[in-house]
Structure 1
């Protein structure tokens, strides 16, 4: 039943965001495709290296990973308020509302990542060293962003102004997320600081899958799993308390 509910919520979300016209659904893929391509092209032209792998693949695919994180986290604050009326149906739970939105974001970004990978190979790049590691990075970012989204969704149900702060923080974290650098490029004291940020480990795993021995990745997946577990426990607990405060059951 929960799978059917999530499927129905996905269809409703698609209609709400993109209308009922089939071409409107293309924006789901076109937005991350356009933004990722523009950032990659800018870095490709200003880069000092001639290799496609050094610029286009690095920034295009990396930005898609961050785009998924930002999209899931930024939409968390409005998830409950935009779907409050659906909660009068007992089959619809608060986590279902988030899962439906997150699946949409994940499918779109994964599809665009595949397109960028194929484009990089077509423009002279090499095949990824490990597709499994790249997909694992996408999955870990999905789970981490989902955990944060659940926490933010529960918190914004209590404090309305928190959503604006979340939007600002999602941009402020961009330079430190791991999108624009590899840990090995940084001085030792800075490496110790950035490795406290879980997204850095996920980006390092992504680049390990992309480039293999070309760079020396530094990541600890157990640290990322710890963040995923803690954020999900806090978020799901917060949503359960929020549902009781909404008084719909």
Structure 2
């Protein structure tokens, strides 16, 4: 009985004359592509302005601080706690994290078609690069905002790192899920970008940024609960206010919605990404 042929391991030559497996070569190529795309993100985000990438952090920080000061004048006593600035920040920071992440990822294909035309760059490289870039940026923004408030104000809160980390992960997961799904929809149906912009305008008011879920009428609560952003903000506030129970918060619900959106979005992108790039 003849011996079965040994499996052939595909390799590719390198400049040093050694052979490397094809999958290893592609992994290095993807890492290089992701690194180049991250640098491109940094240069395109205020890259031509003095200060460069710092403005990607300074702009959202400045906007949050300005709105916090304005609303602090009109709302002296927040629904929970004694300091309106920290109450507002615990709502607007996770909301901004979700919105920024989903917005940038959703345009990964439409804004990078010229780069994705090269075989070495894939749409997954573009998605991963935007996740990393925006994730780091939003964490820096949150750190500066919260540290700044604690440095200049008496908040009477007790921030819990574990809970804050969970809230950030929930915001990022939801942002990635919505972003990946919209990445396909924006490229396949350009009109959806306009429709989505209209649909999300009231989201700021429907996500419990200015108020807490527990104080809304029962009729509204039945519908607001299905807004995943409400759970993200609720988790963040639970992590700052020990007396706030927030038993409505369900991280499982947020992660489940996020994973479903990611799975559907990636499936559609893998199936139709070549058609979208050629359209």
Is TM > 0.5 for Structure 1 vs Structure 2?
A: yes
Tell me which structure has the larger Cα radius of gyration: 2
Count of aligned pairs: 247
- Asked if the contact 1:61–1:116 (Cα under 8 Å) also holds between the matched residues in 2, the reply is no
CA drift at 1:150: 0.6
Match status 1:164 vs 2:155: no
- Structure 2: segments with no counterpart, 5+ residues: 1-27
For residues 201-248 of structure 1, the C-alpha deviation after alignment (integer angstroms, 9 at most, x for no partner) is 1111000111121x2312011111210110010110111122231467
Range 116-125 or range 192-201, more displaced: 116-125
Q: Secondary structure at the match of 1:212?
A: coil
Q: Secondary structure at the match of 2:239?
A: helix
Structure 1's 178 and 99: CA in aligned 2 closer, same or farther, altered over 3 A? Answer: farther
Query: What is residue 269 of structure 2 aligned with on the other side?
Result: 239
Query: What is residue 220 of structure 2 aligned with on the other side?
Result: 190
CA drift at 1:102: 2.8
Query: What is residue 8 of structure 1 aligned with on the other side?
Result: 36
- Asked if the contact 1:52–1:120 (Cα under 8 Å) also holds between the matched residues in 2, the reply is no
Range 8-17 or range 200-209, more displaced: 8-17
Q: Matched residues in 2 for 1:236 and 1:53: separation?
A: 44
Q: Matched residues in 2 for 1:157 and 1:96: separation?
A: 17
Q: Matched residues in 2 for 1:106 and 1:170: separation?
A: 21
Query: What is residue 139 of structure 1 aligned with on the other side?
Result: 169
Structure 1's 21 and 188: CA in aligned 2 closer, same or farther, altered over 3 A? Answer: closer
Range 17-26 or range 220-229, more displaced: 17-26
Equivalences for residues 29-48 of structure 1 within 5 A:
29-48=57-76
Query: What is residue 225 of structure 1 aligned with on the other side?
Result: 255
CA drift at 1:21: 5.9
Q: In the alignment, which of 78, 102, 115 is matched to residue 86 of structure 1?
A: 115
Query: What is residue 108 of structure 1 aligned with on the other side?
Result: 137
TM-score normalised to structure 1 length = 0.90
TM-score normalised to structure 2 length = 0.81
Match status 1:28 vs 2:56: yes
Q: Matched residues in 2 for 1:49 and 1:33: separation?
A: 23
Q: CA RMSD in A?
A: 2.2
Q: Matched residues in 2 for 1:21 and 1:46: separation?
A: 35
Q: Matched residues in 2 for 1:112 and 1:134: separation?
A: 14
Q: Matched residues in 2 for 1:155 and 1:238: separation?
A: 9
Q: Matched residues in 1 for 2:60 and 2:132: separation?
A: 15
- Structure 1: segments with no counterpart, 5+ residues: none
- Asked if the contact 1:78–1:153 (Cα under 8 Å) also holds between the matched residues in 2, the reply is yes
Shift >4 Å, 4+ stretches: 50-53
Equivalences for residues 167-182 of structure 1 within 5 A:
167-182=197-212
- Asked if the contact 2:88–2:209 (Cα under 8 Å) also holds between the matched residues in 1, the reply is yes
Q: In the alignment, which of 41, 45, 49 is matched to residue 77 of structure 2?
A: 49
Q: Matched residues in 1 for 2:146 and 2:178: separation?
A: 28
Higher helix share: 1
Q: Matched residues in 1 for 2:135 and 2:63: separation?
A: 16
For residues 25-51 of structure 1, the C-alpha deviation after alignment (integer angstroms, 9 at most, x for no partner) is 111111111111122112211123289
